[in-house]
């Protein structure tokens, strides 16, 4: 997928930067070996850290864990197998008992520091991850409409700049949702991921009528079918079965605009 290719390219560039700088005692290596060492282990680290970071996002959504707590936990977990791999390579691809003491702890802290630093850099480069809970669930439930359900009235499509970024996308955009560093564009029958900030994507929906209803959600006005309460939380039901959470900070604005 495009976003994986983009992230791998960024990882390779980060590896080259580390390779040229030669931190943590690696500057003594020959240049070619040093570059290969850093690019290789940065990409291997990405392959380990990325799934763990995604799992941390699921965890914080399911149990309302604070954002930074989840990310620090993910870093601590992901750094462990990476430390073993690097230590094994540094020992000449063999088990060296002398490595598994203070040297292992130091190497572990270096892996964790680099991993968390890269996470912060990616967050700064591509925008914030899915935000931590604001006292409500940010989970999304998508269901396919039954084939026997009547088709809604035809809505005249509005072409936007955002359509130019989409490949073979339906004529309507009903919602935008943040997923990690990306924006998922929701249409009546399909979705597509774009590597951009939510704020930039919202600007490119003009002249569509819509509103941001959550730190990670924007919805089109003509896509809103109903709203419902779940305890203290409010959700909007959109055409196509998509349900979107509404932050309490946006409820008043929705009422004033006549959306609910």
Per domain, the residue ranges of the chain are 2-126, 161-256
Q: What angle do CA 194, 2, 16 make, to 5 degrees?
A: 115
In a 10 Å sphere around its CB, with 0-12 CB exposed, 13-18 middle and 19+ buried, how is residue 11 labelled? buried
- Evaluate whether 100 touches 172 at the Cβ level (below 8 Å): no
d(C-alpha 56, C-alpha 70), whole Å? 6
With CA atoms as reference, report the closest residue to 247 among 211, 203, 201: 211
Cβ of 15: how many Cβ atoms within 10 Å? 22
| Residue 104 binned pLDDT confidence (cut-offs 50, 70, 90) | confident
Q: What is the pLDDT of residues 74-103, one digit of tens each?
A: 899 999 999 888 888 777 777 777 777 778
pLDDT higher at 129 or 61: 61
Question: How far, CA to CA in Å, does 185 sit from each of 51, 83, 152, 173, 251?
Answer: 22, 38, 20, 7, 23
- Helix ranges, the chain (H): 2-21, 31-63, 67-90, 102-126, 198-203, 248-256
Mean local confidence (pLDDT), 212-219: 91
Rounded to two decimals, what is the model's pTM? 0.52
pLDDT at residue 150 tops 60: no
pLDDT at 92: 73
User: Over the chain, what is the mean pLDDT?
Assistant: 80
Cα 255 from chain centre: 30
pLDDT at 230: 76
| Residue 229 binned pLDDT confidence (cut-offs 50, 70, 90) | confident
d(C-alpha 45, C-alpha 111), whole Å? 9
Topology, domain 161-256:
OB fold (Dihydrolipoamide Acetyltransferase, E2P) (2.40.50)
Contacts of 131 (CB under 8 A, 6+ apart): 67, 138, 178, 215, 216
């Amino acid at each position: 997928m495009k976003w994986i290719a983009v992230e791998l390219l960024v990882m390779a560039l980060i590896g080259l930067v580390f390779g040229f700088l030669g931190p943590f005692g690696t500057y003594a290596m020959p240049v070619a070996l040093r570059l290969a060492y850093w690019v290789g282990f940065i990409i291997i680290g990405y392959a380990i850290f990325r799934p763990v970071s995604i799992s941390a996002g699921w965890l914080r959504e399911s149990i309302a864990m604070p954002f930074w707590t989840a990310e620090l936990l993910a870093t601590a977990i992901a750094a462990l197998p990476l430390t073993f791999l690097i230590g094994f390579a540094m020992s000449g691809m063999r088990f060296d008992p002398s490595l598994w003491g203070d040297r292992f702890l130091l190497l572990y802290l270096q892996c964790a520091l680099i991993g968390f630093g890269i996470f912060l850099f990616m967050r700064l480069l591509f925008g914030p991850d899915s935000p931590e809970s604001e006292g409500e669930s940010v989970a999304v439930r998508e269901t396919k409409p039954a084939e026997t359900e009547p088709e809604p009235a035809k809505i005249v499509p509005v072409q936007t700049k955002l359509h130019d970024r989409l490949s073979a996308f339906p004529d309507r955009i009903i919602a935008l949702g943040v997923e990690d560093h990306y924006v998922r564009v929701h249409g009546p029958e399909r979705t597509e991921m774009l590597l951009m900030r939510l704020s930039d994507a919202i600007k490119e929906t003009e002249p569509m009528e819509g509103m941001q209803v959550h730190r990670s959600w924007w919805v089109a006005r003509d896509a809103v079918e109903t709203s419902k309460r779940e305890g203290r939380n409010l959700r909007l039901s959109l055409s196509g079965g998509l349900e979107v959470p509404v932050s309490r900070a946006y409820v008043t604005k929705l009422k004033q605009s006549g959306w609910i």
